[in-house]
Structure 1
């Protein structure tokens, strides 16, 4: 798959890129129309959840996700590290400290949810401290980015590279194998920021890719993505099964792309 990404997968075209902010507003507006359906979201055991924001995002950017998950009873936390400008010393050490704090406080593993760059961080944390992580859920995260030109956010990321202490070597996760914990990648083929095929995880007994028809900037507020997140969180810790869309929402989930495509 890495060779496929290197050869033929470019960043989103201008139409997807320039319309992504407007489509994100529509994604958020859909919440108002689907409120009765969201009231029936799957509910789990209220375990702790740590949410990591996208590039240039803060905890405010994930406010909708926090609100929904707290409404379901989860002990949901932001990273409390300000704006995400990349793997700075503050971000790298702060995320590790935040995860340590939550595992010590609750004496159980934490689910990590990461949006875009935040998802790359989440997977790194899971590899370093798998005993502290219950599962990883990523939203529009280019976890298999192979080239800088596969992301429209490349220049924004490198604007702060002089402050980064852990450069993201490409291809990401080359030869790393599957995560040691369950992993779900929620992605969108309508992504206007990153090449969507870079979001596809390797197949495995506890990994999956879930497609939704959202924008990159709105995926963390899109009803179909929120349902998938809630469904994954509701699984018992010792029993992981692949995602099955509810019958009323089946059309909201296109068939997931395989890693061989």
Structure 2
């Protein structure tokens, strides 16, 4: 799993946690670089803990001078259902998210398609075709952190895939990705969702108008306590196939014959 923040000043602090807390040492590997403008890019990587599949992984980014922390969290799971039988896909918001908005999307191996959106201000949810007759959300439970989606009369070929719910508030987002396999009516095992080597949960891209004075670029302050020359980018990524690094083989130079 990788947490990335780019184009910020001063140098941010990146910390990891899990929910529920674990006694194991997380041991993230964090690298930080500054560009010519003095803006920082931070790449922090964490290996998933073995044998603990239902953990929420939380990445926090904050300035050394206090202020609100930017928080992204992610949980992944797999569930199985049967064609024609209603199935509830769970989604729960962490306690630190107050009055979040909610979005659901689906990917069956192609580009993600939008399922529905819940607006925390109006308390209303709007679904898109062709999901209208297949999904149901209890809008009264969402403000209390329960954004579970009821999948009605699921079809073996249409509804097997990856379902993503995303709670969001200013400075924070929580994503839950559930791989759902719908078995056929004759007992045929549904195809397993496509195993993407890398999937990205983007928390925020804060755009700011760049001010130029005599050809020089000014740093614009954001309410998070960071300054950004163009945009503050923050993302949390999950590597399903595991993290790997390829080492390039160095070619041995042939020795010139003496004489």
Range into which the TM-score falls when normalised by the shorter chain: under 0.3
- Does 1 or 2 have the higher relative contact order (CA < 8 Å, sep 6+)? 1
Bigger-Rg structure (1/2): 2
TM-score for the superposition, normalised by structure 2: 0.27
